[in-house]
Amino acid sequence: MLWDGEKDQLLRSNELKKIKESNDKKIYFFYRDQHPLWIINIADKKKSINELNEKSRRCGAQFWSSVSGEGISEISIESYIPKQQLLAFCEGLMLASYQFNLYKSEKKERNKLTFLISPQSLERKELQQLSIIQEAVFFARDLVNEPSNVLNALELAGRIKKQGTKAGVRVEIFNKKKIETLKMAGLLAVNKGSIDPPTFTVMEYKPAKVINSSPIVFVGKGVVYDTGGMNIKVGNGMETMKCDMGGAATAAAILIAAAALKLPVHLIGLIPSTDNRPSGNAYVAGDIIRMNNGKSVEVLNTDAEGRMILADALLYAKKYNPELVVDFATLTGAAANAIGKYGIVAMQKTEAKDWELWKNAGEESWERLVEFPLWDEYGELIVSKVGDIKNIGGPVGGAITAGKFLEHFTDYPWIHFDIAGPAFLDSNYHYQPAGGTGAGVRMALAYLIKRCQWSSKIKKNSK
């Protein structure tokens, strides 16, 4: 049961007294007629709508932690709060119910929750939309959580194709020979140390009627495991490096969910994938890589591999004459150090379409954006003495110089999201689990839904 602080008739006097005497709590537990009753207090007049919705998600997650061990699959909710807060509560509860136990000897089936809501304040289609988005987040989390001895580049591409085809997305996987034909020099260089071949996955979702004349392209970094290559990571630096394909998981999940939601928008997904390992033939610091656009890259650190493979995908995106290109990548420790798990580092060209809409989507989903600049001065830090650019820029502005590197391979509206901070967590954080979180999926889908609604309004008003 949800309580908004003003419907006192829902509570008995002793229950109300207990709540008012401990107003620091959000969730209260009572027994009534031998049935468990949870009172969730979400009211707070000092907070904005987005803050209240996030508080509702966190209450949903807290509620789930209270009941998750009791085998509950059906939850009755009596709600007297605004629809958006109720939806957010359900969202937080659903997202918190995630579990990854494939490799447990005694594994439990994933929870399937049924909501019985009174009064009927939510429409079935709203819960269905919420469920599709949740499943997309779970798909991304599952991919990130898989160990690299299971999920190499071929397996990642295969799973994306299976799930994408099921949702109505056309998926094509380029093999190493095709990648060589396309002269994807960055992907081939990083892959030189691997015994497994690279892949380049192309996804396309294009329904019969679309709102955009040119596609929006989503690019995802797909490094299935990153040892650092010949500049090998030290200490415990490799423990979580199965997560370095978090951008690929996010990009794939976005297209799959958009198709399941039947959004009237033309989307492309591009996912370059390999592992980054040292071997006798691995690329090394000092190598010069000639990229497909003719620019020469001086490799100063083989652990800056993500930008090398993303460059190929950004160049390939040009063939679509895109309306906008958006990349997601667990790209830099500098981004994670700057803002932690609390947001996503974003960089964008001034002509990036719908930037304000993206920022609003970030606030609405609470996957908030922190914009870093792409000033020309940062480009000076990656000028090479022996080539055109180098793949690292030194200790200053590491997240920004990575963005400046990528900018060299774009000549269209473009947004770069560095999700290194929130993509993989050491411990649970509200409705985000330890391990893969699916960072960016909800924000991107909020943007696409808003974009479709906005276009629909313009069309109606023009008649």
Q: Which residues pair with 272 in a beta bridge?
A: 200
Question: Is 206 among the residues known to form the active site?
Answer: no
214 and 144 in a common domain: yes
110 and 148 in a common domain: no
- 35-41/2-3 β-pairing: parallel
Task: Among 103, 122, 141, identify where a domain stops.
Answer: 122
Say which CATH number the domain at 57 has: 3.40.220.10
84 and 147 in a common domain: no
**pTM across the whole model:** 0.92
The answer to whether 187 and 216 are in contact (CB under 8 A) is no
Residue 68 has a CB neighbour count (10 Å cut-off) of 14
Domain that holds residue 410: 131-461
334 and 209 in a common domain: yes
416 and 374 in a common domain: yes
The answer to whether 273 and 157 are in contact (CB under 8 A) is yes
Mean pLDDT by 10 residues, the chain (463 residues): 48 63 58 56 76 91 80 69 87 93 78 65 86 97 97 98 98 98 98 98 97 97 98 92 98 98 98 96 97 98 98 98 97 97 93 87 98 97 98 96 98 97 97 98 97 69 51
Considering 307, 349, 368, 404, which one is annotated as catalytic? 307
- 424-425/414-418 β-pairing: unpaired
Q: How far apart are CA 2 and CA 80, in angstroms?
A: 7
Contacts of 409 (CB under 8 A, 6+ apart): 291, 293, 295, 310, 311, 314, 315
Listed residue (353, 326, 338, 317) closest to 400, CA to CA: 338
Q: N- to C-terminal Cα distance for the chain?
A: 45
255 and 147 in a common domain: yes
pLDDT for position 456: 61
pLDDT for position 10: 54
The answer to whether 225 and 248 are in contact (CB under 8 A) is no
- 424-425/435-436 β-pairing: antiparallel
Preceding peptide of 395 cis, ω within 30°: no
pLDDT for position 8: 43
Q: Which residues pair with 288 in a beta bridge?
A: 298
225 and 325 in a common domain: yes
137 and 38 in a common domain: no
Task: Among 122, 141, 159, identify where a domain stops.
Answer: 122
Say which CATH number the domain at 328 has: 3.40.630.10
* Three state DSSP letters for 158-222: HHHHHHHHHHCCEEEEECHHHHHHCCCHHHHHHHCCCCCCCEEEEEEECCCCCCCCCCEEEEECE
In residues, how long is the chain? 463
167 and 33 in a common domain: no
pLDDT for position 237: 86
Considering 25, 159, 233, 290, which one is annotated as catalytic? 233
Q: Determine the 3-state secondary structure of 407 from DSSP.
A: helix
The answer to whether 253 and 174 are in contact (CB under 8 A) is no
Phi and psi of 288, rounded to 5°?
-115, 125
The answer to whether 330 and 306 are in contact (CB under 8 A) is yes
241 and 344 in a common domain: yes
pLDDT for position 66: 77
Q: How far apart are CA 277 and CA 229, in angstroms?
A: 4
Tokens of 335: 């981004």
Task: Among 122, 149, 175, identify where a domain stops.
Answer: 122
Total count of domains within the chain: 2
Q: How far apart are CA 335 and CA 346, in angstroms?
A: 9
168 and 311 in a common domain: yes
Question: Is 141 among the residues known to form the active site?
Answer: no
Listed residue (170, 187, 136, 234) closest to 449, CA to CA: 136
Q: Which amino acid is at 124?
A: R
384 and 275 in a common domain: yes
Q: Determine the 3-state secondary structure of 99 from DSSP.
A: coil
pLDDT for position 6: 46
